[in-house]
Amino acid sequence: MSTIIAYFKGIGQGLNTLWTGMKVTGYYFFHARKEIITMQYPDNRDTLKIPERFRGRVVMLHDQNNEHACNGCTMCEMACPNGSIKIITDKILNPETGKAVRIIDKHIYHFSMCTLCNLCVQACPSNALAMDNSYENSVYDRSELTFVLNQPGSKIRDNVKD
Amino acid sequence: MQAELISKDGTQEYFVNMGPQHPSTHGVLRLVLTLDGEIIKRVEPHIGYVHRSIEKMAEFDTYKQIIHLTDRMDYLSAHMNNEAVALLVENALEIEVSDRVKVIRTIMSELTRLASHQLWWGVMGMDMGAITTFLYAFRDREMINDIMEETTGARLTMNYNTPGGVMFDLHPNFQKQVKEFIKIFKTKLPEYDELLSGNIIFTERTKGIGKLSLADAISFGVTGPSGRASGFACDVRKTNPYSAYDRVNFTEILLVEGDAYARYKARIFEMWESISIIDQLIDNIPEGVIMAPMKAIVKLPKGEFYQRVETARGELGVFVVSDGNKTPYRVKFRSPGFSNLSVLDHISRGHKIADLVAIMSTLDLVIPDIDR
């Protein structure tokens, strides 16, 4: 007799535990509008807030005169763990002093190899590099992921130390 | 050979591959099961499907660069992995980091642990056939990810620690956001119990399944919540306190049952402990520098160094042999997932295939951590 009672008691307790869980789901079913956390992602691009520290990809900062702060010291190239940065430098003759000055020809950045670790930005002594907040970086061909960071026609700012 | 496999009653053992693309193996883990009907006779884990040779790669990277590789080992406890390498370098060079850094690291570690346990809870429910838990867990985990994104700039692979400190200072919103999260999550965590912990289907499937005795837990080196559910006091935060863990009060969760349900409960209790640790620290983050003065090129002295931290899965050990150069001579990671996986064969013998899913889920395996 006691086993039969225990059997039905077990069924009752089991149903009770199921009901406890169903109460939680039931609450959210009837209070669905109370806290909506789902984002309608592609439609909410305009209102999407990306934190300013979000690491999208590496960019070189240019001012309004199309001038950057990179003097080609290759600190970022050495700091990069994956070899995704390659700097091609050039030398020009400073007309005032008559000395050869190192400038960058191309600051090549392979986004396909980059792990966005931020070490290059930290290594840069003249704060020429930064991480932008871009997302949706997928492309159809791998070659499109190689960027030249210095803009065409840009030159180094005057007050940057060598 | 064939005749040996056939038992007296005429049945025959057979082999089944579980994985490497099985969803309940949480990654690319291949288990070769020897079965007698539905009863498991032997489990043979075959690993190496996501082996990226992180230990070898670390030999060619400087100590600052190694840290970003450790993100990719146990991606759910990325911050703790980073912290392990950072602490090793700091201890080897005898650099004293500021109190602010210590507290920041502790809060971040506990947030990561919460996020990891939340994900585990959701996936655990999903392995048992309940999709509801997955959605509830990700709702709460999203808040932590947003906090991480605001301060560290990344949601999962943060690379926030550097030898000597942390990369950025805390975001001005950090304290407010964390307090808000803690306030909300304290009301949400009881829901976890209501939804899954007491559920008759869940308890029937986990109680008494995959029993791991204390002696076995110690001999297999099962650490973390899985080990503590068997009564193995292995919390590195208690035994070898690092960062700010020596100044907070928290209980080391120790259970005695050692079955799948105990491992489940250990993690639920641990979430409450993590909340209490964050509660104690969030209001008094001391002022200070976020970066101790370091040389541009970090060189460790000649010798061998070991540092261990408690990740969400157990004890992570980093062993570095240095020959005095800027790159290590040899790096070895003692990953918690590998040791926890080694016990799988031992505790799942004699159970059904469906129980194996429950056992694996409560061991909380992360495959990239096992393979490295």
- Specify the CATH number for the domain of residue A62: 3.30.70.3270
CATH of the domain at B326: 1.10.645.10
Range of the domain at B175: 6-371
pLDDT of residue B64: 87
Give the pLDDT band of residue B5 (cuts 50, 70, 90). low
Is A34 contained in some domain? yes
Number of domains within chain A: 2
pLDDT digit string, tens, across residues B231-240: 888 888 888 8
> Given this model, what pLDDT does residue B17 score?
87
Is residue A161 assigned to a domain?
no
Q: Which structure tokens are listed for B216?
A: 């076995």
Tell me the count of A-B CB pairs closer than 8 A. 65
Specify if B1 maps to a domain: no
Residue A26 lies in a domain: yes
- pLDDT tier, A153 (very low <50, low <70, confident <90, very high otherwise): confident
- Averaged pLDDT for residues A38-48: 85
Q: Are residues A14 and A91 in the same domain?
A: no
The pLDDT tens digits of the residues spanning B311-363 come to 988 899 999 999 888 889 999 999 898 888 889 888 888 888 888 888 888 88
Quick check: B52 pLDDT over 80? yes
The answer on pLDDT for A162 being more than 80 is no
Segment B72-99, tens digit of pLDDT: 888 888 889 999 999 999 888 888 888 8
In a domain, A48, yes or no: no
In a domain, B46, yes or no: yes
Task: Give the model confidence (pLDDT) of B192-224 as tens digits.
Answer: 888 888 888 888 888 888 888 899 889 998 998
Q: Is B101 part of a structural domain of the chain?
A: yes
Please check whether residues A24 and A90 belong to one and the same domain: no
B279 and A CB contact within 8 Å: no
Greater confidence (B180 vs A99) lies with: B180
- Residue A92, in any domain of the structure: yes
Same domain, A99 and A151: yes
Closest CA to B93 of B324, B284, B355: B324
CB contact under 8 A, B153 and A53: yes
How many structural domains compose chain B? 1
Note the pLDDT tens digit of each residue in A107-146: 888 988 888 888 888 888 888 888 888 888 889 998 888 8
Are A138 and A100 part of one and the same domain? yes
- The secondary structure of residue B169, as a DSSP letter, is P
Q: Are residues A63 and A29 in the same domain?
A: no
Tens digit of each residue's pLDDT (9 = 90 or more) over B272-295: 999 999 989 888 888 888 888 888
Residue A162 falls inside a structural domain: no
C-alpha B321/C-alpha B168 separation (Å) is 29
Question: Does the CB of A79 have a partner CB in chain B at under 8 Å?
Answer: yes
Same domain, A6 and A82: no
- Judged by a CB distance cut-off of 8 A, whether residue B180 touches chain A is no
Q: Which residues of A touch B167 (CB under 8 A)?
A: 118, 122
pLDDT confidence bin for B6, thresholds 50/70/90 = low
Q: What is the pLDDT of residue A161?
A: 64
The alpha-carbon gap from B80 to the nearest alpha carbon of chain A, in Å, equals 16
Is B96:B89 a contact under the CB 8 Å cutoff?
no
pLDDT on residue B75:
87
**pLDDT for residue B1:** 44
Q: What is the pLDDT of residues A74-115, one digit of tens each?
A: 888 888 888 888 888 888 877 777 778 778 888 888 988 888
For residues B108-125, average pLDDT: 90
Mean pLDDT estimate for chain B: 87
DSSP class of B317? E
Decide if the complex's ipTM is over 0.90: no
Determine the pLDDT at residue B319.
Answer: 92
A133 touches chain B (CB under 8 A): no
**Chain B residues within 8 A of A17 when measuring between CB atoms:** 198-200, 203
Say whether both A83 and A122 belong to one domain. Answer: yes
Phi, psi of B146 (to 5 degrees): -65, -40
Pairing of strands A85-93, B14-18: unpaired
Asked if residue A97 is part of any domain, the answer here is yes
Q: Determine the structural domain holding residue A127 and report its residue range.
A: 58-156
Q: Which residue has the tokens 């040996």?
A: B4
Question: Between the CA of residue A95 and those of A100, B26, B312, what are the distances in Å?
Answer: 9, 64, 61
Whether A30 maps to a domain, the answer reads yes
The verdict on B68 touching A (C-beta cutoff 8 Å) is yes
Could B68 and A115 be called an inter-chain contact, meaning their C-beta atoms sit closer than 8 Å? yes
Q: Which residues of B touch A13 (CB under 8 A)?
A: 200
Task: Give the orientation angle of helix B78-93 with respect to helix B99-127, to 10 degrees.
Answer: 150
